[in-house]
Amino acid sequence: MLVGDSEPVIDVRQVSKVYRLGSVSVQALRDVSLQVVAGEMLAIMGPSGSGKSTLMNIIGCLDRPTAGQYFLRGVDVSRLNDNQLARIRNKEIGFVFQNFNLLPRLTAVENVELPLIYAGVVSGRRQRAIAALEAVGLGHRVKHKPTELSGGERQRVAIARALVNEPTIILADEPTGNLDTRSGAEVMAIFQRLNEERGITIVFVTHDPDIACCTRRIVRIQDGRIVGDEPVSAERRRMSRVARGMMAEPQGA
C-alpha cells in the first residue's frame, strides 16, 4: 500500500452539499471535515435527515460536494470527470446498502461477479466470486437466488460483492438496518474480520449504539455538521451486545 499509516485515505475538507429542488434548496452538509486513516473502522451516527447518506455518497464518489474538497488516497476527486470517478470508485470502494441491492434473477455467485464484469475482468471471474462468497461463509449458497436466502445471507452476498474487486475501503449505509439482532451481529463480525485480517478501511452508518460500539471510533452528525468524533473504549467495545453475541449462546435464554 502506497499510503503511509498516518496519511488519511479519506480526507474530506470543509465540504458542503446543497440540493436544489426548483426554488427550494436543502443544505444537507455544512462545512464537514473528516479524516480517516488506512485500516480504521468507524461508525457514523445521527438523526434521520442529518446528512449521513449524503456524506457517504460523497466519500464513495457517487456524488460531488457543492463546496470544499475531497481527497481519496491523495487524489482530489472533485477534479475528476465522470469516467475517472467511476474508475476510482470501482477500484477503491466496495458498497453495502441497507436493502442489499441484489439482482433478484441472478444467483448469489452471479450477483457477486457483476463488479468484475463492470471492471472488464475477463478470466477467473467465477473463482474469484466463489472465493468472496467463501470469505463471508456462504460457500454452500452460491447457486441460491436472493429470494432463497435469509436477510442475513443476502447481506453477506452483498458484502461478498463489495469485496470481490479487493477494495481498500468498504462503505456501508445502515448495513444491519433490515436485519434481526443475530444476523446483524454476524454481519458486524464479518466487517470486523475484514478490517482486522485484510486491513480494509470500513466506514458505516448505523442507528444502533451497540453496533456502533463494535468500532473504535464514532462520528456524530446533526443538521449537516459533525458534532462529535470520539474513540470507543476497549471496555465499551467488550460490553457491546454484538461482542457478547459472538460468544457462546446464553444458557436457558
Ligand X SMILES: Nc1ncnc2c1ncn2[C@@H]1O[C@H](COP(=O)(O)OP(=O)(O)OP(=O)(O)O)[C@@H](O)[C@H]1O
48 binds ligand X (CB under 6 A): yes
Give the nearest distance from C-beta 52 to ligand X in angstroms: 4
Residue 118 contact, options Mg ion, ligand X, none, Cβ 5-8 Å cut-off depending on partner type: none
Length of the chain: 253
**Dihedral, CA of residue 137, residue 133, residue 191 and residue 150, to nearest 10:** -70
Stretch near ligand X under the rule CB under 6 A, chosen from 43-51, 131-139, 157-165, 179-187: 43-51
Other Cβ atoms closer than 10 A to 229: 15
Give the nearest distance from C-beta 89 to Mg ion in angstroms: 19
Name which of residues 53 to 92 contact ligand X (CB under 6 A): 53-54
151 in the Ramachandran plot: left (φ > 0), alpha (ψ -120 to 50) or beta? alpha
Identify the residue among 1, 14, 26, 124 touching ligand X (CB under 6 A): 26
Closest CB to ligand X among residues 18, 131: 18
Identify the residue among 50, 53, 168, 240 touching Mg ion (CB under 5 A): 53
Going by their DSSP bridges, the two strands 169-173 and 67-72 should be labelled as: unpaired
Stretch near ligand X under the rule CB under 6 A, chosen from 21-29, 88-96, 152-160, 194-202: 21-29
Other Cβ atoms closer than 10 A to 118: 11
**DSSP of 171-236:** EEESTTTTS-HHHHHHHHHHHHHHHHHH--EEEEE-S-HHHHTTSSEEEEEETTEEEEEEEPPHHH
209 binds ligand X (CB under 6 A): no
Identify the residue among 46, 60, 146, 245 touching ligand X (CB under 6 A): 46
Give the nearest distance from C-beta 48 to ligand X in angstroms: 3
Other Cβ atoms closer than 10 A to 126: 14
Give the nearest distance from C-beta 50 to ligand X in angstroms: 4
Q: Using CB under 6 A as the criterion, which residues of the chain lie in contact with ligand X when the complex forms?
A: 19, 21, 26, 28, 46, 48-54
